[in-house]
Amino acid sequence: MEKNLRICIIGGGPAGLSAGMYLEQKGYENYTILERQDRVGGKCWSPTYNGRRYEMGAIMGVPSYYAVHDVEEFCGITHDGPKLNRNYKNSQGQVIEPFEPKKNLLKIPRLLKMKKQVKLFGELLESKYKGYDVNGHRGVAEGRYEGFSQQSAKREPVSGENPNLKDLALPFKEFCRINNVDLVQDIWIGPYTSFGYGYFDEIPAAYVLKYLDFQTTMNFVKVNLWTWKNGTQYIWEQLNEHLKHPARLNSTIEKVERRGGKVYVTVNGQVEEYDKIIVTAPLYIPNKRADGQVGMVDYFDTRDDERALFSKIDYERYDVQAVLTKPEDHPEISYYVFDNMVPQRLGHLMVYYRRWKDQIDQVITTYALRKHRDSEEIPYEKCRQMVQDDLKTMHNPAREVINEWSVYYFPHVFSEDYASGWYDKVEAMQGKYDTFYAGEIMSFGDMDETAEYSRELVERFF
């Protein structure tokens, strides 16, 4: 493409800012990033309390976050945050050690079986499901893979045929069952369901394994984690500062029209002309949100094929509360509550984080899911109270809520649409209306996968 193309990028989160960085590195400098909020970072939001930043969104990374490392190198920053650790409680608030055989003598046979299944799972992923960890979802429903390998930081292009990949359309629970590795769910659930990405009986295995490939999961298990002193938002604030064209904040897009090979964007009452547009913001939001956020189909001159495909997208209702406790009630560490990570415990506290080991007067963040495909959605206020009650059960009651957030989270499609080739149909539309689709839905809803997809998009089309 002509290097002086005028490119509009919608969204100043990890996907949009990364798109700007990768475009710039390829010589495309005539780009504009439009962000509706008064800050960058999207779901990486790190407010400040008592002189230190805490996390309302993304918390950590791992060494296999290659795209995030690209950003670190571009900005001259590094992962310099506190070392995180965790413990576990049951739903009655008792501390447990579910993976320690000496503390679970009756569970030793199960733990040994789980260990064998995890080893087998790793072998299956590398052989039977070769190509499973390629970024994005192109070709999976057709039994092929095409993209950039995530085996190392080189991310070399790979492609191939593998009919077994069609299994990734199955819900993860079913995927594990057919491979006789049901117990690996005990390991994968911690960094998956508790992080708000849904339940294993409803979410296609592709999402679970694109995010939690074997390498990434083992880093979580070994607590080989990256954090940032100034929060995950700092990564994207720094990227924004280092771009030649930082995101324009408080940009309200009223209308986008595509005609005559041009894209006309009405933003804050003014019409701007572009040659191409990259959408990293939500493509579709199926219900009216309290924060007024809408999907692309609501302000674009949406075509029939776009509307038909994007209307298949659903998302998780994942709520975060930032609470303070009395000093005597402050948790000594972060806790996971596995009992609450099942659909039957919808709306209950799944995990709560203590970020700074050396400070008691700090925020504790709590996380809960209140939606399951086959259950009635729990109202926000009810879920909020359930979490408060759970903190009391955990012996860490909150004395005050200082921040709370229910964000548009983890857009995805379900197994039937995944299996019918939803991703290949969308990928076939890339560039069709001078429009490119990126962001969470095209890969996965964590900061590295979204940034990595932006890298691939720029490599493929620009």
In whole angstroms, give the CA distance from residue 35 to residue 159.
Answer: 35
Radius of gyration of the chain (CA): 22
* Over residues 334-344, mean pLDDT: 97
Q: What are the backbone dihedrals phi and psi of residue 203, each rounded to the nearest 5 degrees, phi first?
A: -95, 130
- Give me the residue label for tokens 């900005």: 75
DSSP state of 296: G
Give the chain's mean pLDDT. 96
Class of domain 103-220: mainly alpha
Q: What are the backbone dihedrals phi and psi of residue 67, each rounded to the nearest 5 degrees, phi first?
A: -70, -40
| For the chain, domain boundaries | 7-47+65-73+228-313+413-461, 103-220
- Is pLDDT at 65 greater than 80 in this prediction? yes
Q: What is the pLDDT of residue 103?
A: 77
Contacts of 282 (CB under 8 A, 6+ apart): 293, 294, 295, 296, 315, 408, 411, 439, 441
Q: Read off the pLDDT of residues 32-64 as tens digits, 9 standing for 90 and up.
A: 999 999 999 999 999 999 999 999 999 999 999
Token reading at 242: 């280092």
Q: Read off the pLDDT of residues 116-127 as tens digits, 9 standing for 90 and up.
A: 999 999 999 999
* Over residues 386-410, mean pLDDT: 97
Cα–Cα distances in angstroms (integers) from residue 307 to residues 11, 188, 218, 373, 443, in the given order: 20, 34, 39, 21, 19
Contacts of 129 (CB under 8 A, 6+ apart): 162, 164, 165, 167, 168, 209
DSSP SS3 for 279: strand
Q: Does domain 7-47+65-73+228-313+413-461 match CATH 3.50.50.60?
A: yes
Q: What is the pLDDT of residue 345?
A: 97
Q: What is the pLDDT of residue 169?
A: 98
The single-letter code of the amino acid at 299 is: Y
In whole angstroms, give the CA distance from residue 457 to residue 450.
Answer: 11
Q: What is the pLDDT of residue 287?
A: 86
Q: Which has the closest alpha carbon to 186: 104, 131, 127, 129?
A: 104
In whole angstroms, give the CA distance from residue 223 to residue 175.
Answer: 26
